[in-house]
Amino acid sequence: EATERQFQTLLSEAAEGMSVQLAFLAIPQVPRSLETKRRIDSLYLSIDALWDQDVDGLIVSGAEPVAPNLMDEPFWESLAQLVDWAQHNTYSSVWSCLAAQAAVLHIDGIPRRRLGDKLFGVFECANISEHHLTSGSPDSFGMPHSRWNDIPENELSACGYGVLTRLKNGLVDTFVKKCKSLFVFCQGHPEYEPASLLLEYRRDIRRYLRGERETYPSMPEGYFDQHAAATLSELRVQAFANRSEQCLSNFSASLQPARIRSTWRPQAVRFYRNWLHYLSERKAMRAHTRPRRAAAEYSFKSSAAAASAV
């Protein structure tokens, strides 16, 4: 539900007068809680509904991994099928976080690499390209990341990928590859809301307190102000002294939204606005050559389908 809301709100802000309609779809093999599965079943279409439709753009979100090897994930075959379909049936597709790493593995066999620690927080990124997707972007900006893995830039470059933005520490943020469709890969999370990293951090703390993980999670970098960071450091000390969920009782009350730094929204809106313009331009060019087949409810002035893997 959070991912759905995040993308829906972001695309609404980015549309700037364009007519955009979303269709939400789900890959059924993704492990979900019973409550989430019921909601998905009642509100989402199955990914199978996509195969005979025309859509302009596709956004595929990530999921929390359950296997070290992406090819062992229960949704691997369906996701691979989706990648192949998207190359021939979209003007552009955005692959987010885990979906980006899985798509690259399927297309070119490039495996992700485990980082020494979780890349977690808001990190300064440099705009290193003149691509139309980064048009109007500042030279540097913050972007949320929450991941344990990375894809080395040298391996991406060797296979024809173009890096658009890079973290100051040298890791890749956003990159593209022009197949029959323009594939866009985001290892970060431009769609995140101000409190998204906070909620992930609280979830990981709770897992530690429950004994579901061995180590206490690292605080997200570049995200909290000094007061919030001090409060969370005190919570960490309390958790080591008394490993109980009771430590979280005052978590939300002690952290007000004003103490969270959410600087990435303008760049996120700019990026997706450029993407929507690209879809619109490609669709207009296609209309002057040969018409696409009618697609019932999926034929719009500018349409995007979001296949959610969470």
Residues assigned a catalytic role? 97, 189, 191
Residues 158 and 177 sit within 8 Å (Cβ to Cβ): no
Residue at 309: amino acid letter: A
Cα–Cα distance, 245 to 138 (Å, whole number)? 42
Cα–Cα distance, 76 to 29 (Å, whole number)? 9
Tell me the two tokens of residue 120: 């977690």
* Alpha helical stretches, state H, 187-264: 196-209, 226-241, 251-254
Tell me the two tokens of residue 100: 């980006």
Residues 125 and 173 sit within 8 Å (Cβ to Cβ): yes
51 contact partners, CB below 8 Å, separation of at least 6: 85
Under DSSP, the state recorded for 292 is: P
CA of residue 94 relative to chain centroid, distance = 9
